[in-house]
Structure formats: structure tokens, C-alpha cells
Structure 1
Amino acid sequence: MRTFLIVWFGQLVSHIGSGLSSFALGVWVYEETQSVTDFALISLCIYLPHIITSPVAGAIVDRWNRRYAMILSDAASGIGTVAIWILLYFDKLEIWHIYIAVAINSFFNSFQWPAYSSATTTLVPKKDLGKANGLLQSARAAAKIIAPTMAGFLVKEIQIEGVMFIDFMTFLCALGTLLCVRFPKPEVTDKTPPKLEELFQDTVYAWKYITIRPGLFWLLIFLAVTYFNLGVLQVVFWPMMLSFADSKALGMVLSIGGCGWLLGSVMMSAWGGPKRRVYGIYLPVIMQGICLLFGGVRTSVPLVAIGVFGYLFAYPIAISCNRAIWQTKIPLELQGRVFALDFTIEKAVSVLAYVISGPLVDTFLDPILAPGGLLATTIVGDILGVGKGRGIGLLFVSLGIITIMGTFFAYRYPRVRRVEKELPDAI
């Protein structure tokens, strides 16, 4: 556990640094272009390389030393940060430089998560995997809370160049922790230089491994609902809040949500989850469905704040318990590929949510709950209200109902409910 905590601390610092630079670069792009499209292209450059390369990256991780994969990822990210800093220093930075740097960074980061997740399995006792995954979630939550606040202050005080330098120093911290530890080697590691065809075959094998085990396959599909819901929230939550509240209330609710995520992560890292980890998925996801109902049913800041807090409090518990099941049931020599596939599905579903949620609200849901709309004078309009942003409320309520029903069906399906008993431990 000591080695894991050393690595975790380095990655925590690196996450915060990456959050600082992401915020600063986003501000720079928007101020330079005043274009939402140019700003949104940064997200595309972050997610698209990840989605495309993660499955193959996972296959490489399974054939390679996980520590080396993490070192490569952190080193490449640090080099990209230095390149941006140099261009800024000489006043040569262009928008396309950022797109290229972000895309390259995303490519190398596709090695990071499968290597980190599979290495955690070897660094932490099986009984403590829930706690370890809680710590991983707490690092993400802390970065989400700390980085925007710090970056907003630092950009004014030391300019974007100073923020990029701090980010580079955080990468050095992460590299330093990785260089001073050793990872246990998996019992089976294919060290032969792989051909591209073999990497694709490895990825297909990992997918087949999942699909012939219905408990794991449907657990993966079930969790995809949570990923989709979070993607929708990231797109439409701000417009919904600003339709009936000001930016101060929005910031307060976002801070409350971040505290919920952090509290859930810290609780999970101390508790480790229930003995039957699948119940540590069912109950939090039901809670998320109820919180979506709370968040959408009324234009009330306190009610929405309660919903956001509860939703994000439950998120790290469900994800940590899910991750612990996979780490226990998947052989070490397959974990890089399997976690890469899981990550690909998570990001692909999130991108799908980004793409469809905006048009769905603008062209269908908002109009039917506008004054004179199709549902304005029905019981739906009476409950949710009528006017701007109420289409988003209807979307939240619909997702809440779907989430609760999906959890009920997942519970009723014995392969998922009994996945921990029916599948033997692989570690």
C-alpha cells in the first residue's frame, strides 16, 4: 500500500497541475478568438485521440511494464507543457499549436489510465481495492475543486506562462514518485515486440473475454448509463441553472457538488465499500436517479443543490465498487486492455451525450414546455413548470426515471447481481 500511496500523491499533484493549465489555456483560447466553436474543439482534441487509441494502448500496456507506461505518459505531457510555455514566452503561440499539443497529450494519456488501474491491482491488497479506488476518485475530485479556483487567481497574478511552468513542475513531481518506486510484475507478461495486427487481436480477445461473461458485460452496459448521465449534466446543467438563477448561485451549486464528490471519495477511501460490492453500485446509482428527479422537478436553487450534491456524492462510490469488481475478476495480464475498453466506452458515451443533449433540448424539449407548447398545459407542465430551461428539467426527470428503472432491471438480472459469486477471483 505504501508504494501505491507514493504514486497516488504524485498523480494527485499532476492532476491539479493539469487542471490549472487546462483552465488557463481554455481562457486564453476564448479570449483570443471569442469563439465557442474554437473553445469546444479543445474538448474534441482531448477526447477523440483517447477514444481511438485507448484499446490499442491497453494491449501495449499488457505487454509492457506498467510503471514505464506511466513514466512515458507523464514525460510526454511534461514535454508538451514545455513546448506551449516556450511558444508563449516568445509570443508565438497559435490556436492550432494548442490543438496539436492537447491531441498529442491525449494520445499519451491513453496509456496512463489502463496502466494506473492495472498497476493498482498489484500494489494494493485485494481487500483494500475499494479504498484505493476511493483515493483515485478523491484525486480527481480534489483537482476539479482546487484547480479552477487556483487557476483563476494565478492567471491574473503570474500570467498563463507562470501557470504552465507550475504544471510542468507538477509533472516532475509525478515522474519523481514513479522513478523512486518499483511495481510488482504480473505473472504473465508478453515481452515480444507486438505487431499492429497482434495488438488488434489482443483488443478483440479482451472484448470477447467480457462478452462471454454476461455478468461483466451487462455491468459494463449498466455503468454506461451513469457515464451518459454525467455527460448530459456537463452540457446542460449550466444553461438550466442560469435560466432561473444568477452566476453566483451557479458557482455555489457547483462548489456544493464538488464537495459532494470529494466527500463521497474520501468516505470510500476510508470505508472501502460493502462486502458485496455490487450493492455498492446499485444503491448509489438509485440515489443518482432520485437526485436527477430532485434537480429537474423544480426551479429551486436549494433543491438543485441537494440533487447535485447527492448525485456527485454517489458517483465515486459506484465507480470505485465497480472498479474493484473488475480488478478482482480480470486476470492481471488482461487488465490493461479491459480497463482501456472501459475507458473508451466511458468517453464515447460521454461524447454521445455532448452531441445529442444540446440539440435535443433546443429543438424538442424546450419548445414542448414553452408557453403554448405541447406539454405546457398538461400535468407535466403543471409539475415541472413552463418556460426557458424547463425542457432541461424534463430531461433530468426522464433520465432519473430511466436510471431507477435500469437499476431495478440490473438487480433483477441474476448474472449481474451474482457476478461476484459466479465468477472466480482472478487475483
Structure 2
Amino acid sequence: MADESQSTPESNVTGWRLLATRDFGCLWAGQVISQIGDGLNKVALLWFVYEMTGSALKMTAIGLLQTIPPLVFGPLIGVYLDYLPKKTVMIVVDLLRTLMVLLIPLFYALDLLTLERLYVLVFLVSIVSTIFGPALASAVPLIVQRSQLTTANAFLQSTTNIGVLLGPAMSGLGIALIGAQNVLYVDAATFLLSALFLFPIRVRETKSVKELDVLGTPVMQDMMVGFRFVFLQHRVVFALMITAVLYNLAISAFVFLLPVVAKELLQVGPMELGWLWSALGIGMLAASIWLARMPQGTFQERIGKIGRSLTIGGLAVCALGLIQTPVLFSTFLLIIIIGGSTSLFYPVVWAMLQEVTPEHLLGRVFTTFSVGGMASAMVGMAGFGWAADTLGPAVSLIGIGLLLLLTAMVTMQVSRRGLVVTPAVA
């Protein structure tokens, strides 16, 4: 990490003024556009595949193809990411996504699109997309100062929230007006715009590109260096990894069960389900904006903030499962609370990871966290989905709430043990 004494005028900016700086402002604007594009893609692509095949199974295969690359290639990607310029990587990824998404409607228009070709394109888009998230997280501490990390991550999470709120709604409207295949043209354009916003950004690259043997021992050794740092060498990072696994087990299952909550507990249809999704997004966006305005604080203050927010979220999820005759309005309010309280987790955790991780390990650490988070999310969705089918959605919700409370207890215990964030040395 850079010495704070070497800060630029932009690095001394905090809060909302951070968005007005050229580097972070361009990064944020590009991510808003990109996240809206992701929202467009999720709805339009699934609808397009279902219209094309008429098969729910073939449609769900899209989700599987989007899940495999992060789990399989994540650790390897992290090694290479640590030796490549982050800005260049993000621009190349966005340009590749532009091309690959654009090929889907082009092939369709030329009557060249087969299901096999579509699956290949989706798989390739997922591979390059796996690179972007860790590259972005690794670039943030190279753009902003340590004291700005929580604010920067909160603002970046707000782009995801904006995408959740606007993307699917815009996609649905676009499908109705111009068709799913034409919405994919718009999706491709959002990735191109995201790449254009990245060009003016100045990223303080300090690591020279290193020759790596893809199949040789050095790559495996470098991969193990990252694993050792996360699991053996740094108690703070390992503690954050444990809490991240528990958090993803719970929160991914809750999001997955929202349609079940709507249909089985509330006995409402897809329109009301859309309102519940919006409620989750509203809570998340409000929390991100609030967090961006708050001072970063000490390690104990930050970890305590996570513990308190997850306690509120866990109690709210339990309350949702315990309500005997749920009303749509009260459920809407509870989901706003759940979205707001649980969404503080990653901006704070990401900031602490960026603070303690040496620059040459950022890619490996963030891909390790991403792989662990996705694996635990899949376990959570499968486990609590099974519980909802066999024991009922209310029992499953209570289980999720208790798991969030357990995560809060673990974070509080970490805080009491007096672990200290020691800023990394590049």
C-alpha cells in the first residue's frame, strides 16, 4: 500500500466528494452502467433461451454455466491477476464481454445461433467476468487512500444495488418493446461504455509483469502463497474468511427463497414478488449511501458495526419466519431492514482486506474469497432449499436468521480477541 504521505489532492477527498474525483468518479460511473447491463442480461438472456428452446431445464443450464468458471478458474485467475496491470485487465475484460454478448443477437439475426453456440458464448462470458470482480477489488486500493477504502467500497456496492433496482425492470420493459434479442444489443453497449469510462483512470501500478509457466510448478507455488496468506499466516484475514463463508451460507439462501416467501407465505404473484425484490434493493442502496458518509473507524469499530448489523438482519429474518399471518406491507418493511442491515458486510470486509493484504497478493486473496463465497452460497441455497421443501419455508427462514445471528456472534468474538488490522507493506 502506498504511504499516506505520498497522497495526491484527490486522495485527501472523503465522502460524497470522492465521486467528484476523476479516477474514482469514472470508475463508479462505469460500474453503474455495467451493473445495469448485468441486470439487463440476467432477465433478457434467460427469457431469450426459454423462448428459443421452450425448456426450463435448458434455461437453468445457463445458471450452471455461469457458476462453474468462478469455482474452477478462480484461484488460477488470482495468480495471473497479481502480475498484470489492473486497469488493462478490466478494459480488456469489458471489451471481450462486449464482443461475446454482441455475438448472441448477431448470430440469431443471421440464423447461425444454435443452443451449443449459445452455451459456449455464455460460458466464455462467465470466464472473463470471473476476472473482473477481483480485478476491480484489487484496483481500489491502488486508486484511493487507505482511509477512503470503506467509503469507496460502499459506493461500489451501491452500483450493484442500482443495477438490481433498475436492470431487471428495464430489461422487462425492453423485452416487451423490442424483444429479448435486441435487449442483448443494449447489454453489449453497456460493457463498451464501462470500458470507455476506465480509460481516463489513473491506477498506481507497482508490480511489473512476470513470466509465468501456466502448467509448471511456479503457478502452483504462487497459488499456494495466496492460500497460506488467507488460511495460515494472517489471523484477521482467516477470521474474515470464516465470517464470509457463514454470511454467504445465509444471505444467498434468503435471496433464493424470496419467490417461495411470496408464493407460499404471502400467497401473492410475480408483481408482488417484484416489489419484494425492490424492497431488498432499496434497503441495500440506503445502507450503502449511509456507509459511504460514515468515517471508516478502527478495526474494532468496523467489526462491531458488522456484528450489530447482522444481529438486526438475523432478528428480522427470524421475525419474517415467525409471523403467522404475514401482511405484504409488513413483509416489505422487514425485507428493507434485511437488505440494509446485511449489505454492510462486504464493503467493510473488502476494505479491511484491501488494507491488510500486500499489493502483490490482492488478486489471489480476492479470488480465494470469491470462490469460498460462491461455494458456500451454493451449499446454502441447496441446504435451505431442501429445508423449505421438507420442513416449510418458515422453518427455513428461521434457520437462516439463526445463521446470521451466529455470524454476528463470530464477528463479535473476533472483535473481543483484540485482533488489529496492520496495514500491508507493498
TM-score (norm 2): 0.88
Alignment of 1:16-95 (within 5 A): 16-95=36-115
Alignment of 1:6-405 (within 5 A): 6-186=26-206, 188-196=207-215, 197-212=217-232, 213-243=234-264, 244-247=266-269, 248-275=271-298, 276-298=301-323, 299-300=325-326, 301-362=328-389, 364-365=390-391, 391-405=392-406
Q: Percent identity?
A: 22
1:208-232 residue CA offsets vs partner (Å, 9 max, x unmatched): 0122223321221112122111221
Read off the aligned partner of 1:256 and give its amino acid letter: A
User: How many angstroms does 1:52 deviate by?
Assistant: 0.8
Provide the rounded CA distance (Å) in 2 between the counterparts of 1:355 and 1:399.
13
Cα separation, partners in 2 of 1:273 and 1:37, compared to 1, 3 Å: farther
Read off the aligned partner of 2:315 and give its amino acid letter: I
User: How many angstroms does 1:265 deviate by?
Assistant: 1.4
Provide the rounded CA distance (Å) in 2 between the counterparts of 1:341 and 1:409.
20
- Aligned residue number for residue 412 of structure 2: 411
Provide the rounded CA distance (Å) in 1 between the counterparts of 2:154 and 2:388.
34
Read off the aligned partner of 1:151 and give its amino acid letter: S
Provide the rounded CA distance (Å) in 2 between the counterparts of 1:398 and 1:169.
42
Q: Secondary structure at the match of 1:92?
A: coil
- Aligned residue number for residue 369 of structure 1: none
Read off the aligned partner of 2:235 and give its amino acid letter: P
Read off the aligned partner of 2:418 and give its amino acid letter: R
Read off the aligned partner of 1:238 and give its amino acid letter: P
Contact 2:101 2:125 in 1 (8 A): no
Cα separation, partners in 2 of 1:157 and 1:409, compared to 1, 3 Å: closer
Provide the rounded CA distance (Å) in 2 between the counterparts of 1:342 and 1:260.
24
Provide the rounded CA distance (Å) in 2 between the counterparts of 1:189 and 1:285.
40
Provide the rounded CA distance (Å) in 1 between the counterparts of 2:256 and 2:108.
30
Read off the aligned partner of 1:155 and give its amino acid letter: I
Provide the rounded CA distance (Å) in 2 between the counterparts of 1:354 and 1:408.
22
Provide the rounded CA distance (Å) in 2 between the counterparts of 1:417 and 1:143.
38
Provide the rounded CA distance (Å) in 2 between the counterparts of 1:51 and 1:328.
25
1:77-132 residue CA offsets vs partner (Å, 9 max, x unmatched): 11111210211212333333332111111111121111111110010111111111
Cα separation, partners in 2 of 1:33 and 1:230, compared to 1, 3 Å: farther
Read off the aligned partner of 2:319 and give its amino acid letter: F
Provide the rounded CA distance (Å) in 1 between the counterparts of 2:381 and 2:118.
21
Provide the rounded CA distance (Å) in 2 between the counterparts of 1:184 and 1:424.
17
User: Which deviates more, 72-81 or 272-281?
Assistant: 272-281
1:390-418 residue CA offsets vs partner (Å, 9 max, x unmatched): x111111122123213422432246x753
Q: Secondary structure at the match of 1:52?
A: helix
Provide the rounded CA distance (Å) in 1 between the counterparts of 2:292 and 2:118.
36
Number of residue equivalences: 398
1:7-45 residue CA offsets vs partner (Å, 9 max, x unmatched): 221122122123212211111222333433222211111
Structure 2 residue runs of 5 or longer lacking an equivalent are 1-20
